[in-house]
Structure 1
Amino acid sequence: MEEKQWIGMGLAIMGALFWGLSGTSVQFLESAKHLNVEWLLEVRLLIAGLLTILLAYMQDGIRIFDIFKYPKDFGKLLIFGLLGIALAQYSYFKAIAISGVGVATVLQYVAPTLLIIYLFLRYFKKPTPAEFCCVLLALTGTICIVSQEGLDISTINRDALFWGLISAASICVYTLQPIELLKKYGTTSIVGFAMFICGILSVAVFQQIESEAIWDGMTWLGLFTIIILGTVVSFNAYIEGVRRIGAVQGSILSSLEPISAAIFGWALLGNGFTLVGIFGMFCIIATVFIIAWDRQRQIKRDVLKKLNKEEIA
């Protein structure tokens, strides 16, 4: 497999793993430290966005502001920020608050299926057998992990279903929508400006100045994990990985998040494992190897076609 593909897969996996750690921290801060969702969203977007912009400026200098010269591209940036990054985070937090992390995660990881359906309806792009298999494995594995201690479907109320599916749709948006912007302006600046602008807008909308949290060392550590690792590092890594390997493969690899959440939950919060949960982990890990095999097969096929054309010519 080409180095670009391996690096892209590695970045997408890194993003998913840090999301899992971040989700564990969110659960801890909400339940143990009584942190409210709106304040967390505001602070997360503002601080992570500002840090990412500074990182982009160190890399590319004043060129990062070029996007503001083109209203059409700036409009796309707002769509990416509002309907992708901000809405995905807020809706996921709301779903957790209503029905718990298990149901929220199951609903969120409908995203790869929604993405494949959208690409088929919009562009008539049929999924490869490997992609279809990975979607089934990812959904099966996610359900096994979050339901290893029992998942009562009857507890899913309409609000949880609404916010969970909104979260899944938002993941599709930030996976697919910004690809052209990323190629034109780079990953870091686009993600940074999208976060920071949406952070300002979220303050204007929610006006949550008080955190309502119990402040101690663990609270600060949780915020560092959520803002730095779970936002600055994870979003930039995942978006850059998608730019290298494509939207469908990236969205499937993102379902490694529940594995990392389960492991961190076991190590940090005392959550247990069952055979069903372990089986789910193997299902999701298998998608990584299937995607790697499928990409390598496609590359070899393309090389052979090119060689055959050259021989004929």
Structure 2
Amino acid sequence: MKSYKLIGVFLTLFGAILWGISGTSVQFLSHYKHINLEWLITMRLLTAGVLTVIYAWYHQGSSIIKVFHNRTDLLDLLTFGVLGMALCQYSYFQSIALAGVGVATVLQYLAPSMIIVYLLIRYGKRPSSGESFSVLLALVGIVCLMGHDGLSVESIPYAVLLWGLLSAVGVAVYSVSPVALLSRYGTLPIVGFGMILSGIVAAILFHQPHSDVVWDWETVIGCFNVVFLGSIVSFNAYLEGVKRIGAVPGAILSSVEPISAALFGWALLGNEFTLVGIFGMICIIATVFIIAWDRQRQIKRDVLNKLNKEEVT
């Protein structure tokens, strides 16, 4: 059992680190190889989607296409793909190009706070004390991270903030919207078809026949990191790890992603951060730990309440 969970921890960390490497590769390709981000996101979605569907077909057979037999589920799948996966990745790539991989990845970790606010506005679900504190801490982190060159309104890069928040919204959408689909059809078919559909939409919207990209072995390795390691390998490693150790420890360990992205960006691409900016990163990353701890506490409390009710009856 110990080795089973130890492998789960390793796989979860491995997947998160690969995401960090993928983000660093996006910055490298954008800044040094002049690659079209629209082309890159389209290739990533289509290639990863097709390979994921092939893998799902091998394990589950023709049952994976059942989602296309239900019009409502198909619409939900399209929403998940376009407003979730495509929006998240495109805005994430844009924020990387503008601010560097460290800042962009940390901003994406505002997604849990976005979900809390969405549940409050949409369903009137009042956040717990831990969730409320995490949202406030996230706001402090944004101010510090965006104004790290000087805490003034003029210093805040609004384009970075916009794309970063949109990437967090995308993560929130694809974390919440496909829950029913995943339970009915499984993870691999939904993720694979979601990628393919969003990739087709991206190809139509972002078609760019002209490119100034510099093709060499470094560009090929960068694209390999983004399309293969950063999508297929990382996603499957992370899911397998979470299956072994649980969702809460997985969410905590996933915070290695922004740390690794910041370190890779600093070591390989020369990204720099001030103390205020680093403090902002710590605040945002800390929200993952707080929310994970708070949810675990709520689960234990609900179990105890249920046991007490059973004893009374």
Question: Which category of TM-score, normalised to the shorter sequence, fits these structures?
Answer: 0.7 to 0.9
* Maintained 8 Å contact 1:12/1:254: yes
Q: Determine the C-alpha separation between the residues in 2 that align with 1:171 and 1:237.
A: 19
Mark the CA change 1:8 to 1:211 in structure 2 (over 3 Å): closer, same or farther. farther
1:228 alignment partner in structure 2: 228
Counterpart AA for 1:214: V
Q: Deviations over 1:58-85 (max 9, x none)?
A: 3322211110111110111011111111
- Alignment match, 1:262: 262
Are residues 146 and 265 of structure 1, via their aligned partners in 2, closer, same or farther at CA, if it must alter by over 3 Å? farther
Check 1:284–1:99 CA distance in 2 against 1; reply closer, same or farther (3 A cut): closer
Distance across 1 between alignment mates of 2:44 and 2:19: 13
CA deviation digits over 1:140-196, x for unaligned, max 9? 456656766668753556655554443332222112111111111111111111111
Aligned residues of 2:88 and 2:171 also touching (Cα < 8 A): yes
Gaps of 5+ in 2: 1-5
Q: Which residue of 1 aligns with 2:18?
A: 18
Are the counterparts in 2 of residues 187 and 240 from structure 1 also a CA contact under 8 Å? no
Residue of structure 2 in register with 1:192 after alignment: 192
Is the 2:87–2:167 contact (alpha carbons within 8 Å) kept by the matching residues of 1? yes
Where does residue 83 of structure 1 map in the other structure?
A: 83
Of 273-282 and 180-189, deviating more is: 273-282
> Offset of 1:199 from its aligned partner?
1.4
What's 1:53 paired with?
53
Mapping for residues 207-286 of structure 1, pairs under 5 Å: 207-209=207-209, 211-235=211-235, 257-272=257-272, 275-276=275-276, 279-280=279-280, 282-283=282-283, 286=286
In 1, distance between residues paired with 2:177 and 2:7? 21
Show CA shifts across 1:249-294 (max 9, x none). Answer: 9989866543221111123224356544554555455445434533
1:9-158 alignment runs, 5 A limit = 16-97=16-97, 108-141=108-141, 153-154=153-154
- Counterpart amino acid of residue 70 in structure 1: N
Aligned residue pair count: 309
Bigger drift between 40-49 and 54-63 goes to 54-63
For structure 1, the residue ranges without an aligned partner over 5 or more in a row are 1-5
Name 2:3's counterpart in structure 1: none
Mapped to 1, the partners of 2:297 and 2:106 lie a distance apart of 31
What is the CA–CA distance in structure 1 between the aligned matches of 2:113 and 2:11, rounded to whole Å? 21
SS state at 1:125 partner: coil
Would you say the 8 A contact 1:99–1:156 is kept in 2?
A: no
Aligned to 1:3: none
Distance 1:9 1:188, change over 3 A: farther
| 121-130 vs 247-256, greater mean Cα deviation | 247-256
The two structures have a TM-score, normalised by structure 2, of: 0.79
Q: Distance in 2 between matches of 1:106 and 1:207?
A: 29
1:213 alignment partner, SS class: coil
TM-score (norm 1): 0.79
Superposed displacement of residue 119, structure 1: 0.2
Which residue number corresponds to residue 175 of structure 1?
175
1:7 positional shift: 11
Give yes or no for contact 1:53–1:192 (8 Å, CA) kept in 2.
yes
Q: How many Å apart are 1:123 and its aligned residue?
A: 1.4
Please identify, of 209-218 and 176-185, the stretch whose mean Cα deviation from structure 2 is larger: 209-218
Distance 1:247 1:88, change over 3 A: farther
| Contact 1:91–1:163 under 8 Å retained in 2 | yes
Partners of 2:110 and 2:59 in 1: CA distance: 35
**Is this contact kept in 1: 2:149–2:155, CA < 8 A?**
no
> In the aligned structure 2, how far is the partner of 1:149 from the partner of 1:136?
21
In 1: Cα distance, 2:249 partner to 2:122 partner: 18
Indicate the larger mover: 195-204 or 94-103: 94-103
The alignment-based identity, stated in percent, is 58
Quick check: 2:141–2:281 contact (8 Å CA) kept in 1?
yes
CA contact (8 A) 1:142 1:258 kept: no
How far apart, in 1, do the equivalents of 2:302 and 2:101 lie?
42
Letter in 2 for 1:203: A
The separation in 2 between residues aligned to 1:301 and 1:282, in whole angstroms, is 28
* Post-superposition offset of 1:312: 1.4
Indicate conservation of the 8 Å contact 1:141/1:284, yes or no: yes
Cα distance in 2 for residues equivalent to 1:158 and 1:284? 18
Match of 2:28, as an amino acid? F
